[in-house]
């Protein structure tokens, strides 16, 4: 009787021992997997999160960005043109673009017996290919500052030190520098009358001619998009050709840079296009485009 009891107890103990060992093994595997998952999630949180994408994901059609009334004002057509010719002028010609979501433009031209006028509008959507290092807006501002520097105008930044770009409060590079007093003329012979236009008193300097008030010049603009500048260039005069004036307005809104270029070429030699009128029309168009992007 005693042997039978021992035989019955031993198998039961073996089964119980095996079950406990199996449960311990399962518990160990489960705990190890959980610890590894926690370690991975903590290490993943240390990576920097990318900056959000820019505000604008596409660009408007440039040839439709300027309304017909404004085009007729900026580009008066020659009298006697047919309605078909006028429609062709104001329809514009689109620039070649291999990515319409990144860079597009349009050009118009009109000619009259008095002058030739050209207009172009360009849109560029700037994208940062590494938004962990720089956002789309910051990349667009970098591109804008490069163009501002190319125009030799001051750009926003810390106070300038010798040899560094000018600060925002500095005068634009295009502003005329104060002229140095001209050298005094040699003394006239005794008893000789003073030359015409010479100073009234010895040692006094001739009056310095002031810049023409009609020449506005290139400068940074306020209140146009996030930041903007205007560049005004007057072509060289020729013996048989008049001077042309080209005004370029560049502004940034978020991650898009807009360029408006307006040129006036008179037909009569010696004629000079008005700086005020040319700049006003270019700026008014730029302001209308700012409002279009704000819609």
Is residue 283 over pLDDT 70? yes
Report pLDDT digits (tens) over 3-46: 554 455 445 555 455 555 555 454 444 444 444 444 444 455 56
Of 131, 132, 171, nearest to 154 by C-alpha is 171
Cα 260 from Cα 283, distance rounded (Å): 8
User: Which has more confidence, 89 or 237?
Assistant: 89
| Averaged pLDDT, 142-158 | 84
Question: What confidence tens digit (pLDDT) does each residue in 22-31 have?
Answer: 554 544 444 4
Cα separation, 153 vs 55, whole angstroms:
27
- Judged against a pLDDT cut of 60, whether residue 267 lies above it is answered with yes
Helices (H), ranges, the chain: 2-44, 68-74, 83-91, 136-150, 275-294
User: With 60 as the cut, is the pLDDT of residue 194 above it?
Assistant: no
Region 221-242: what's the mean pLDDT? 88
- Nearest residue to 229 (alpha-carbon basis) of 156, 291, 121: 156
Q: Which residues pair with residue 261 across a beta bridge? A: 120, 248
């Amino acid at each position: 009787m005693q042997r039978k009891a021992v035989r019955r107890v031993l198998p039961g103990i073996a089964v119980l021992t095996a079950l406990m060992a199996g449960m311990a093994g399962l518990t160990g595997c489960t705990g190890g997997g959980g610890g590894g998952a926690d370690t991975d999630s903590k290490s993943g949180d240390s990576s920097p999160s990318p900056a959000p994408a820019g505000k604008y994901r596409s660009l408007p059609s440039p040839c439709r960005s300027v309304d017909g009334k404004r085009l007729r004002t900026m580009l008066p057509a020659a009298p006697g043109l047919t309605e078909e010719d006028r429609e062709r002028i104001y329809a514009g010609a689109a620039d070649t673009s291999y990515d319409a979501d990144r860079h597009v433009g349009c050009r118009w031209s009109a000619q009259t017996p008095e002058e030739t006028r050209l207009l172009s509008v360009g849109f560029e959507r700037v994208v940062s290919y590494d938004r962990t290092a720089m956002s789309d807006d910051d990349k667009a501002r970098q591109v804008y500052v490069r163009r501002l520097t190319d125009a030799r105008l001051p750009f926003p930044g810390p106070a300038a030190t010798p040899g560094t770009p000018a600060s925002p409060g500095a005068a634009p590079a295009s502003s005329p520098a104060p002229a140095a007093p001209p050298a005094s003329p040699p003394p006239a012979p005794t008893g000789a009358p003073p030359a015409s236009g010479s100073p009234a008193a010895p040692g006094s300097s001739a009056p310095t001619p002031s810049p023409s008030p009609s020449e506005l010049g290139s400068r940074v603009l306020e209140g146009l998009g996030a930041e903007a500048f205007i560049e005004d260039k007057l072509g060289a005069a020729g013996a048989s050709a008049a001077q042309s004036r080209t005004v370029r307005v560049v502004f940034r809104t978020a991650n898009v840079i807009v360029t408006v270029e307006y040129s006036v070429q008179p037909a009569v030699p010696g004629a000079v296009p008005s700086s005020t009128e040319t700049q006003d029309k270019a700026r008014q168009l730029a302001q209308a485009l700012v409002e279009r992007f704000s819609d």
